């Protein structure tokens, strides 16, 4: 069944605006940045899980939160996932906000102010897939490729360490406007990770994105992407964090957001990297809601901005969801 067009209210968009990259129409400051504006945004359960398992697409967001995500997609030049997510989810990574000048729908035009329902030109973000070893076996049937072919989204740029990607895939990508971006050296400082690759330095990833003319990127996941970005070395690169928290637990075996602690010091808040607004605030926000969706007493309003959701809202019929925005670097 076709997905109903997503609608995001102007008032909600205005609430988010201070956390979003400057509009390209009104600011030149973003052009002066050497790296793009980075928004980290994802949905978790109360136990900080992104999905039931590494290969399992798990719906945590309801329609309102999903519409918010698509508004965010309309406000960024690029949208980034790791190859684990590309394989697990076969994602579309496009913006599917209703493009209507009627009613309260926000214009998806990144250049217009929230609520101005005039010129509607849907801004599509460029999908960026981090795939150092080229594990993603995309085909012309992959959702993102189909959407690009149909003009409903952009084709992916794949960031890889493989110097010469296979010609057939290169052709497939280029036919719909995508390409490979080869990064010279994965981060030599890091030990080889389990899958036999070294991580890229996030600065190198972001510089490559900026080099393509993109001034803002939203990073959606999955676990490894988020946890490496929120490591001590790179968390300062993140300008904004926007998290949806679903009132459920996914339990052991899930893919968790759990950024590494510093190598020294006790495992308490002082060793969480850097500043309280990402990991620690997320934990507080999660514990602010009981399993049946009620607010716990003595929890400040600033931590959870929940609202009742309709029974039709996806996987969490009787719960609440919250949007938490913060700056992980404490700036
Ligand atoms: N609830 C939510 O908002 C979201 C949930 N997910 C879920 O997350 C799960 C996938 O998470 P993961 O398995 O952790 O995969 P992932 O999507 O984080 O991809 C991991 C892979 O990406 C590459 N990678 C990541 N960071 C890198 C770096 N700095 N340098 C070089 N390569 C890097 C590596 O090849 C690594 O194996 C899926 O089940 C998906 O459904 C994904 C995105 C959002
Ligand atoms: N915001 C959010 N909530 C969830 O519950 C999710 N599972 C995700 N997943 C992310 O969205 C991508 C799917 O995008 P399409 O709808 O196919 O365009 C998925 O790959 C994750 O990045 N996000």
Ligand nearest to the backbone CA of 233: 1
Q: Is 3 among the domain residues?
A: no
pLDDT band of 260, cuts 50, 70, 90: confident
Domain count, the chain: 1
In a domain, 331, yes or no: no
Identify the pLDDT of residue 76.
Answer: 97
Residue 42: CATH number of its domain = 3.40.430.10
Q: Point out the least confidently predicted range of 19-28, 99-108, 111-120, 250-259.
A: 111-120
Q: How far is the CA of 113 from the centre of ligand 1 (A)?
A: 32
Report the nearest-CA residue for atom 10 of ligand 2: 220
Can you give the pLDDT at residue 262? 60
Q: Is residue 284 part of a domain?
A: yes
Residue 1 forms part of a structural domain: no
Residue 324 has pLDDT above 60, yes or no: no
Q: Is residue 222 part of a domain?
A: yes
* Ligand 1, pocket-test mutation among 39, 46, 82, 194, most atoms within 8 A of CB: 82
In a domain? residue 4? no
pLDDT digits (tens, 9 = 90+) for 138-173: 999 999 999 999 999 999 999 999 999 999 999 999
Structural domain including 169 reads 10-26+35-326
Lowest mean pLDDT among 8-17, 37-46, 109-118: 109-118
Confidence of residue 193 (pLDDT cuts 50, 70, 90): low
84 lines ligand 1 (CB under 6 A): yes
What residue has token string 């060793």?
A: 271
Distances (CA, A) of 329 to 147, 181, 237, 274, 326: 35, 28, 8, 6, 9
Q: Would residue 2 count as lying in a domain?
A: no
Q: Which residues line ligand 2 (CB under 6 A)?
A: 43, 58-61, 69, 81, 85, 89, 91-93, 220-221, 244
- Ligand 1 near 200 CB (within 6 A): yes
- The mean per-residue pLDDT over the stretch 211-220 comes to 97
Tell me if 246 is assigned to some domain: yes
pLDDT tens figures, 65-75:
999 999 999 99
Tell me which residue has its CA closest to atom 25 in ligand 1: 225
Q: How far apart are CA 87 and CA 136, in angstroms?
A: 6
Q: Which two tokens stand for residue 110?
A: 């990144």
């Amino acid at each position: 069944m076709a997905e109903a067009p997503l609608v995001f209210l102007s008032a909600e968009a205005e609430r988010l605006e201070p956390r979003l990259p400057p509009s390209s129409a009104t600011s030149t400051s973003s052009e002066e940045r050497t790296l793009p504006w980075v928004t980290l945004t994802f949905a978790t359960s109360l136990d900080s899980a992104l999905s039931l398992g590494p290969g399992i697409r798990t719906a945590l967001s309801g329609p309102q939160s999903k519409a918010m995500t698509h508004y965010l997609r309309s406000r960024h030049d690029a949208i980034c996932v790791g190859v684990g997510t590309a394989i697990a989810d076969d994602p579309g990574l496009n913006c599917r906000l209703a493009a209507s000048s009627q009613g309260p729908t926000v214009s998806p035009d990144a250049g217009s102010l929230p609520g101005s329902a005039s010129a509607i030109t849907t801004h599509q973000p460029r999908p960026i897939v981090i795939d150092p070893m080229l594990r993603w076996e995309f085909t012309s049937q992959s959702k993102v490729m189909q959407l690009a072919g149909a003009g409903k989204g952009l084709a992916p740029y794949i960031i890889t360490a493989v110097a010469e990607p296979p010609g057939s895939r290169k052709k497939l990508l280029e036919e719909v406007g995508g390409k490979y971006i080869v990064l010279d050296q994965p981060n030599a400082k890091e030990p080889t990770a389990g899958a036999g690759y070294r991580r890229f330095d996030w600065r190198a990833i972001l510089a490559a994105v900026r080099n393509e003319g993109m001034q803002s990127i939203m990073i959606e996941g999955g676990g490894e992407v988020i946890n490496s970005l929120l490591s001590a070395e790179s968390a300062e690169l993140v300008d904004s964090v926007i998290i949806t928290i679903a009132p459920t637990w996914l339990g052991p075996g899930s893919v968790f957001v759990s950024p590494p602690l510093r190598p020294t010091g006790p495992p308490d808040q002082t060793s969480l990297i850097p500043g309280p607004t990402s990991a620690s605030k997320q934990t507080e926000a999660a514990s602010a809601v009981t399993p049946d969706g009620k607010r716990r007493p003595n929890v400040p309003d600033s931590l959870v901005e929940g609202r009742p959701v309709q029974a039709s809202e996806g996987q969490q019929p009787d719960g609440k969801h919250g949007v938490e925005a913060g700056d992980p670097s404490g700036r």
